[in-house]
Chains A and B, each alone.
Chain A
Amino acid sequence: MSTVKELVKNHTAEKALFQRRLWVAISIIALLILTLIGRLIFLQVIEHKRYTTLSNENQFTLLPIVPPRGLIYDRHGVLLAANNPIFNLTLTPIKVKNISATIVDLQTVLTISNDDLAYFYKQLKQNGRFNPIILKAKLSPDEMARFYVNQYRFNGVRIDAELVRYYPQGNSFVSALGYVGRINVDELKKVNPQNYLGSNYIGKLGIEKFYENELHGTVGYQQVETDANGQIVRVLQRKPPISGRDLHLSLDSTLQLAAANALAGERGAVVALDPKTGRILALVSAPGYDPNPFVFGISASNYTQLRDSPDRPLYNRAIRGQYPLASTIKPFSAIAALYYNAVTPDWTVFDNGFYTLPNGAHTYRCWRWKQHGHGRVYMSRAITVSCDTYFYQVANILGITRLGNVLKLFGYGEKTGLDVGEELPGLVPTPEWKLKTKGEKWYLGDTIVVGIGQGYLLTTPLQMAHSVAGISMRGQLYQPSMVDYQILANGDKMMMQSVALPPIQLSSDSWDLVIDAMHNVIVSGEGTAHNSFGITPYSVAAKTGTGQVFSTFGRDIDNKGKPKHLQDNSSFIAFAPIENPKIALAVVIENGNHGAPRVARQVMDAFFNEAENALPPPPTP
């Protein structure tokens, strides 16, 4: 009997059981909901008076104290980013009965621009009505005086002080420092919102963005008694903020300004670094722009003007510019040939101005084709006179893979990891890359033109400086970096270590050969920078480059006949002194018509003049 009972499901009985249970559950739910309502009645009706008093009476609250942002100095202690106190007119919406009427009334006392108003209403939408919102930033003393006289008329409007970033050097440093700006919703999602309570600014670009965590510091709190309107009655307890760390950059402001001056009127970039550490000495993109308006939120019209300027000042050419290496590739091609033992140093080529592929498919010109080429060239002379014919053949012998491998050893084709952020990797092309992006196979001709730094190869001025520093140090490269040390909140110095990259193995003779040839670029009568760079009291090794912007399709049009924007890019890499390298630099000038050596000379002279005139460091006790 019991087996049958267990085998057969009695649907009616089960449904009845379920429904009985459901009624039990419904009763419990009803009981609990009544409990909640009872509790609410207790709190909101019976105890209402008590809680209203508690809510209206003085209360405890925590208010954030914004930490002062870390300062930024150059290597000599010159202040590059300061915090200046400014005074803002703010309005607390909850305390103002009619906001638009108050603003109209305020405009009889102060001028409030449409941009200010637009920003105010945007903030009003996001911030709610209990926090003060900036109506007009950066009041002048005169404006403050005018407001204070009339303040009694404007309940809920007051002047608040805050510390704001100021870049005393303006235009010339923005490519390295970047700037801070008002924090926006997306940025607030990426940081710990607790730590940014009360902070209005965040690093948007450059060093300011890369070191945001270090520069910002840790928010402090004060526990205050306030009344129900949020007015502070007294401070009970205070946890001071931890101010942001000061950064001491390796940047040399004298050199930075010299580079900016040398580039004046051009579009281009200068990157100079210390080959022994990889520390950046100068990083300039021209034309620059003033970062200070960005701190408060630049007006739409000014921003449009910057953005649409044909000179593209907002584009950081030093680390994002994508230029052909042009003839500055030649020392690296030579090193690649020696690295793979592809040709010997005394292997000779006869340059009659033209190079024809072995299969006769195409003929390439040397830049001296009109003078019937360079005649007999071997490796050292090929670098000095920048012989295209020689390096077409080197590229043909090496092939794109081996040439590309050595270029990658020198840091081309990938980001250097400079602590300014936002850099671009450039491109060292491979057959796989071409197939993937262009859907075409790699031709021999693609390899040949890379041999003289044209074709698909793209680099940034930063990579060029980084790689020539590698030659100066005979294969030892350091990751480029900009911060020498940080000052912690307790005053301790935190040194930033420079990172040595794996050295490039090559015989000492080979390095001598390439460096001598680059020395001859300056000192030899037939060197390509003999006239344009000139003889210097310090020893320099260098290489020039001329990047074609505009294909002449074989027609003979020299730069003088071309409009400026079609003229060739001019580039230059160099280091000095040869015996004990202290500076390595790269200069690129867009449509520069061979102007880069002149700029490089001005920068180098500034560097060595400064070194000569520098006072000995003060004796340490």
Chain B
Amino acid sequence: MHYRHPPHPNLASSSSRYQGLLYRWHLDSNLLQALLFLIGFGLVILYSAGNENVHTVEGQCLRLGFSALILVAVAQIPPYRLRVLAPWVFFVGLFLLIAVMIIGDVGKGARRWLDFGFIRFQPSEIMKLAIPLYLASLLHEKILPPRLTTLFLCLFIILVPVALTALQPDLGTALMLLLAGFCVIFLAGLPYRYLIIVALLTAAAVPVLWHFMHDYQQQRVLTFLNPETDPLGHGYHIIQSKIAIGSGGLFGKGWLMGTQSHLNFLPEHATDFIFAVAGEELGLFGAIILLTAYAWVIGRGLVIAYTAQDTFSRLLAGSLAIAFFFNIFVNIGMVCGLLPVVGIPLPLVSYGGTSMVTLMAAFGVLMSIQTHRRLWSN
């Protein structure tokens, strides 16, 4: 007799056949519901933000469908196998990242893309998954909290891809990679005294960093500090998105009725600034529904991390969930004028493809961790 996944009364809590089927496919129904709700809501916003162009929504659905296939595929890989694969994923990603420096395709003044003829993608996206994977597999072998030598090794693994990405230059993604790597070490028990030292060092490094920033990046920071100085230049984005959100009020101007986005006052309203469209048309009410949907996804991710059964799974699930949160926080913070303009999209809602595949792969990993749990626990 041969069956791989004996049903367990505690795991298949509501014991419906539907859930049993999902479980056999290693899909976590709670996370799946959260994602479906979020994606559905996102498409509704995108339809309006894309000026009611059905082709935009069709294109997004196509990418979502493709990403969903990746999710299902990744969910089938059990965590112990992911752990073995981790170094491979990391080094292939690193190789591609170096390749993009040499032969990459230039888009909007930055070398980010690799073009394989039939598909174009950003290797730095792979790193969003590869860094947590590799670090978690590495720390899984160590005694936690990690020793100083281990920490330096981890730091090196984080900083090489971060530096390569920052040089492209793609500061937004580099920041996300840094945060993702940091989450793993933090969850692994990075002593707080080191944290304080790093924070102090960073503060000291700000003037040096400023010196190495591109003009447009310096401009973004300056504009963030005082957007009103340049209302038609670099401050335009922030001012217009604040007007959009602010004029939305409690319940918004109504779906499809946002003047800020539909009359093109709001730049990039289908991509990085899509949250402002939601804020304008659906108001505080809609924005909180969106935030709730995100909180649901993140919360489920954290529950999966909390109940995971080995160090690798715990660190990976925890860091992926927290990194997902930071993606959202940085984007919404930027659109609300809390943070400087960093060019990252709003996960699963913004129009565009590359980040979606990595995100869904990450959810695939979470589902794999949740659905491959053993019956015993220590």
Q: Across the interface, do A129 and B249 meet the contact criterion of CB distance under 8 Å?
A: no
Q: Provide the bound-state CA to CA distance between A61 and B240, in Å.
A: 11
Cα distance A37–B52 when bound, in Å? Answer: 28
CB-based contact A51/B242 at 8 Å: yes
Measured between alpha carbons, how far is A527 from B315 in the docked complex, in Å? 91
- A14 near B279 with CB under 8 A, answer no
Q: A22-B305, A51-B247 are in contact. Are A40 and B287 (CB under 8 A)?
A: yes
Contact of B318 among A25, A35, A43, A185 (CB under 8 A): A25
CA A86 to CA B207, docked complex, whole Å: 59
The residue on B at minimum CB distance from A35 is B338
Query: Nearest-CB distance from A132 to chain B (Å)?
Result: 13
Contact, CB under 8 Å: A128 / B53: yes
Q: What residues on B are CB-neighbors of A47 within 8 Å?
A: 246
With a cutoff of 8 Å between Cβ atoms, the chain A residues found around residue B53 in the complex are 125-128
Chain A residues, CB < 8 A from B243: 51, 54-55
With beta carbons under 8 angstroms apart, the residue of A19, A25, A50, A185 that contacts B186 is A25
Known A40-B279, A43-B246, A128-B52; contact A29-B325, beta-carbon cutoff 8 A: yes
- Judge if A44 is at the interface, Cβ distance under 8 Å: yes
Whether the Cβ atoms of A19 and B306 lie closer than 8 Å is: yes
Q: Find chain A residues with CB under 8 A from B260 CB.
A: 55
Interface string of A236-272 (1 = CB under 8 A from B): 0000000000000000000000000000000000000
Name the CB-closest residue of B to A60.
Answer: B232
Hey, which chain B residues are within 8 Å of A25, CB to CB?
183, 186-187, 302, 318, 322
Q: Is the CB of B52 within 8 A of A226?
A: no
- B145 adjacent to chain A (CB < 8 Å): yes
Q: Give the residue of B54, B246, B279, B336 whose beta carbon is less than 8 angstroms from that of A125.
A: B54
Is the pair B314, A18 in contact by a Cβ cutoff of 8 Å?
yes
- Output the residue of A21, A26, A56, A127 with the most chain B CB within 10 A: A21
Interface string of A26-54 (1 = CB under 8 A from B): 10010011011101110111011011101
Chain B 250-288 near chain A by CB (<8 Å), digits 1 or 0: 100000100110111100000000000001000110011
CB-based contact A6/B143 at 8 Å: yes
Nearest A residue (CB) for B187: A21
Known: A127-B53, A128-B52. A52 touches B287 (CB 8 A): no
Residue numbers in B under 8 Å from A129 (CB-CB)? 52, 256, 262
Check A26/B302 contact, CB under 8 A, given A21-B187, A228-B259: yes
Interchain CA distance A32-B265 in the complex, whole Å: 29
Contact A126 B338 (CB under 8 A): no
Set of chain A residues within 8 Å of B259, measured between Cβ atoms: 55, 228-230
Is A190 close to B, CB under 8 A? no
* Minimum CB–CB distance for B176 against chain A, Å: 15
B245 within 8 Å of A (CB atoms): yes
Query: Which chain A residue lies CB-closest to B189?
Result: A17
A residues near B311, Cβ cutoff 8 Å: 14, 18
State which of A10, A36, A43, A127 has its C-beta within 8 Å of the C-beta of B52: A127
Give the docked Cα–Cα distance between A599 and B99 (Å): 60
Q: How far is the CB of B45 from chain A (nearest CB, A)?
A: 14
Q: Determine whether the beta carbon of A44 is less than 8 Å from that of B54.
A: no
Contact of A223 (CB < 8 Å), options: B55, B232, B337: B232
A560 within 8 A of B: no
- Complex Cα distance, B243 from A54, in Å, reads 7
Known: A21-B187, A127-B53, A130-B262. A51 touches B318 (CB 8 A): no
Beta-carbon contact of B378 and A11 below 8 Å:
yes
Question: Is B279 a contact of A44 with CB atoms below 8 Å?
Answer: yes
Residue contact A22 to B187, C-beta cutoff 8 Å: yes
Number of interface residues of B (CB under 8 A): 55
A26 to B305, CA, bound (A): 12
Question: When the two chains form their complex, are residues A15 and B314 in contact, meaning their CB atoms are under 8 A apart?
Answer: yes
A21, B333: Cβ atoms under 8 Å? no
Hey, which chain B residues are within 8 Å of A94, CB to CB? 262
Q: Does B148 contact A (CB under 8 A)?
A: no
Interchain pairs with CB closer than 8 A, number: 148
> What separation, in Å, do the CA atoms of A18 and B260 have in the docked complex?
45
B263 touches A29 (CB 8 A): no
- Could you tell me if A22 and B264 are in contact, using CB atoms closer than 8 angstroms? no
B332 CB-CB contact with A under 8 Å: yes
A39 surroundings in chain B (CB, below 8 A) = 333, 336-338
In the complex, the answer to whether B265 meets A45 with C-beta atoms within 8 Å is no
Which residues B113-153 have CB closer than 8 A to chain A? 143-145
A437 at interface by CB-CB < 8 Å:
no
Checking B52, B249, B264, B325 against A45 with a beta-carbon cut-off of 8 angstroms, the contacting residue is B249
Contact B338 A36 (CB under 8 A): yes
- The answer to whether A44 touches B186, judged by C-beta atoms less than 8 angstroms apart, is no
CB atoms of B249 and A185 under 8 A apart: no
Majority secondary structure of chain A interface residues (helix, strand, loop or mixed): helix
A37 contacts which chain B residues (CB < 8 A)?
A: 288, 291
What secondary structure prevails in chain B residues at the interface with A?
Answer: helix
Chain A residue numbers with a CB within 8 Å of B52 are: 125-129
Q: Contact at A36–B378, with CB atoms within 8 Å? A: no
Whether B263 contacts A230 by the Cβ 8 Å rule is yes
Within 8 A of A (CB), among B159-200: 183, 186-189
Asked if A12 CB lies within 8 Å of chain B CBs, one says yes
* A26 to B318 Cα, complex, angstroms: 10
Are B264's CB and A61's CB within 8 A?
yes
In the complex, B37 has a CB within 8 A of chain A:
no
- Which residue of B is nearest A236, CB measured? B232
Give the chain A neighbours of B279 by CB distance below 8 A.
Answer: 40, 43-44
B249 near A61: Cβ-Cβ < 8 Å:
no
**Max chain A C-beta neighbours (<10 A), residue from B54, B143, B332:** B143
Taken together as a complex, chains A and B put the C-alpha atoms of A194 and B245 apart, in Å, by: 25
Choice from B242, B256, B263, B284 contacting A41 with Cβ under 8 Å? B284
Alpha-carbon gap, A8 to B231, bound state (A): 61
Partner of B249 from A35, A52, A56 at Cβ < 8 Å: A52
In the complex the two chains form, is A59's CB within 8 Å of B265's CB? yes
- Chain A residues, CB < 8 A from B248: 44
Complex interface: chain A residues within 8 A of B332 (CB): 36
Given A18-B189, A44-B250, A45-B284, check contact A36 B336 (CB 8 Å).
yes
A211-243 CB contact bits vs B (8 Å, 1 = yes)?
Answer: 000000000000100101110000000000000
Which residues does chain B contribute within 8 Å of A128, judged by CB atoms?
Answer: 51-53, 256, 262
A455 to chain B, nearest CB (A): 36
- Which residues of chain A come closer than 8 Å to B336, judged between CB atoms? 36, 39-40, 43
Q: Is A9 an interface residue (CB 8 A)?
A: yes
B295 within 8 A of A: yes
Query: What's the least CB distance linking A27 to chain B, in Å?
Result: 12
Q: Which listed residue (A40, A54, A61, A226) contacts B247, Cβ 8 A?
A: A54
B207 to chain A, nearest CB (A): 27
- Which residues of chain B are near A55, meaning CB under 8 Å? 243-244, 246-247, 259-260
Given contacts A44-B248, A48-B246, A61-B265, contact A18 B318 (CB under 8 A): yes
- Find out whether the CB atom of A44 lies under 8 angstroms from the CB atom of B329: no
Instruction: Give the docked Cα–Cα distance between A18 and B232 (Å).
Output: 48
- B203 vs chain A, min Cβ distance (A): 19
Indicate if B298 sits at the interface (CB-CB under 8 A): yes
Contacts of B187 in A (CB 8 A): 18, 21-22, 25
Which residues of A line the B interface, CB within 8 A? 6-12, 14-15, 17-19, 21-22, 25-26, 29, 32-33, 35-37, 39-41, 43-45, 47-48, 50-52, 54-56, 59-62, 94, 125-130, 185, 223, 226, 228-230
Name 18 A/B residue pairs within 8 A (Cβ), A-sorted: A15-B314, A18-B188, A21-B318, A25-B183, A39-B338, A43-B245, A43-B336, A44-B250, A44-B287, A47-B246, A48-B250, A52-B246, A55-B259, A61-B263, A130-B263, A185-B55, A228-B263, A230-B259
Interface residues of B (CB under 8 A from A): 51-55, 143-145, 183, 186-189, 231-232, 242-250, 256, 259-260, 262-265, 279, 283-284, 287-288, 291, 295, 298, 302, 305-306, 311, 314-315, 318, 322, 325, 329, 332-333, 336-338, 378
Known contacts A11-B378, A17-B145, A62-B264; 7 further A-B pairs (Cβ under 8 A): A10-B143, A18-B318, A25-B187, A43-B242, A44-B283, A59-B265, A94-B262
Please list the 10 inter-chain residue pairs (A to B) with the smallest Cβ-Cβ separation, ordered nearest first.
Answer: A51-B246, A55-B247, A128-B52, A128-B51, A43-B246, A130-B262, A44-B284, A51-B247, A48-B249, A52-B247
